[in-house]
């Protein structure tokens, strides 16, 4: 399991690398059953607040789905259960 802050940081980095607006991520997240409002989602994606694990994983999943749908050639966002290792 990775820390909530590392998960958030890698999610933000992935979103930025893919050039996804936070509004697009929020809309995709809502479509997957997320219930945070746009302000809280944008604050999470700006590194201002930390969301509960379910929401963090659902936002990561939304970004990963957007990467797949748009065929963006980057690694996806990490889930809370991902293991991060130094190499």
Whole-angstrom Cα distance, residue 4 to residue 74?
21
Domain with 50 in it? 4-70
Confidence check: pLDDT of 87 > 90: no
Provide the whole-model pTM: 0.92
pLDDT above 70 coverage of the chain, percent: 94
Domain assignment of residue 84, yes or no: no
Nearest to 62 by CA among 4, 6, 3, 14: 14
∠ at Cα 52 (44, 85), nearest 5°?
80
Domain assignment of residue 62, yes or no: yes
Confidence check: pLDDT of 22 > 80: yes
Domain assignment of residue 49, yes or no: yes
Domain assignment of residue 36, yes or no: yes
Q: Read out DSSP for 19-56?
A: T--HHHHHHHHHHTT----HHHHHHHHTTS----HHHH
Q: What is the pLDDT of residues 43-83, one digit of tens each?
A: 999 999 999 999 999 999 999 999 999 999 999 999 999 86
Q: Domain count of the chain?
A: 1
Domain assignment of residue 45, yes or no: yes
Domain assignment of residue 44, yes or no: yes
Domain assignment of residue 79, yes or no: no
């Amino acid at each position: 399991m990775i820390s909530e802050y590392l998960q958030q940081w890698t999610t933000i980095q992935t979103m930025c690398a893919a050039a996804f607006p936070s509004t697009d991520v929020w809309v995709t997240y809502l479509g997957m059953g997320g219930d945070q409002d746009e302000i809280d989602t944008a604050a999470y994606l700006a590194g201002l607040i930390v969301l509960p694990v379910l929401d963090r994983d659902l936002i990561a999943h939304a970004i990963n789905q957007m990467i797949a749908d748009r065929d963006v050639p980057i690694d996806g966002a990490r889930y809370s259960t991902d293991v991060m290792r130094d190499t």
